[in-house]
Structure 1
Amino acid sequence: MTTVVIPVYDEVTQLDFTAPHQFLSIVPDITVIVASVGGVPVASQGLSFAKLADLESVERCDVLCVPGGLGCIQAMEDPRYLSSIRRLAQTAEYVTSVCSGSLILGRRVC
C-alpha cells in the first residue's frame, strides 16, 4: 500500500490538492491523506475543507505532495507546518509539489 500525504493550509489553491486527490484516490493500493496542522478545517476563496487528518500525527508517507496557493508564504512561516513537511520529506520516497508548493519545499531545506 502506498500512502500519499497532501498537507493543506489556509488559502491553498483547491485545484492544487483536489486534482491530485481525485486522480490518486482511484488508483488501487494508494491511500491519500489530506492533512492540516491540528487537523483543523482550512479555508480557501470561500470554500472550507474539513475532516482533515492532523498533519503532526501522520507518522510517515511514501509520497509527499505539497500544494500551492496564496497562503504558501504563511505556511512557510508556520513552524508546526514546516516541521511536519521536513519530517515527512526525510523518509518519503517521492517529494513533490504543485505550483507554488515548490516554494514550501525550497524553504524546508533552509
Structure 2
Amino acid sequence: MDGSPRSLTATVRHHLLNPMALGYLAMVVGVLAYVEVDAHFVEQQDASFAGLLLFVVTAPTSWLFLMLPEPLPWTGIVVGALFQAVVLGDAYRKLSGRPRHGTRPSGA
C-alpha cells in the first residue's frame, strides 16, 4: 500500500459497491417503502408495528440509539444500515477472494 489517504468517494465506493452491501441496502429501502405505505395508505383500527421492522432490519446497531432523545432513534436506522452494509461488504470481499483496494496479489 502506498499510504496515501483515499478520498471519501473512493472509500464509500470501496466498502459499499458490491452485491452484498447493495442488496442489503436495497432490502432496507424496501422495508422503508413498506413502512411508509403502511403508515400513509393503510386504514387501521389500532396502532401498527410496521415501524419496528426498520429497527429489526438494522439491528443490533440501531438498537443502541433507541434510548436516546427523539430524533436520534431514527438516525440509528441510517447509521445501522450503513454500518451493516460496510460489514457485509467487507465479508463479501473476504469470502469471494477479491483483493482489497490498493493491495497486490502475491507473486507480483
TM-score (norm 1): 0.25
Larger radius of gyration: 2
TM-score (norm 2): 0.26
Greater strand percent: which structure?
A: 1
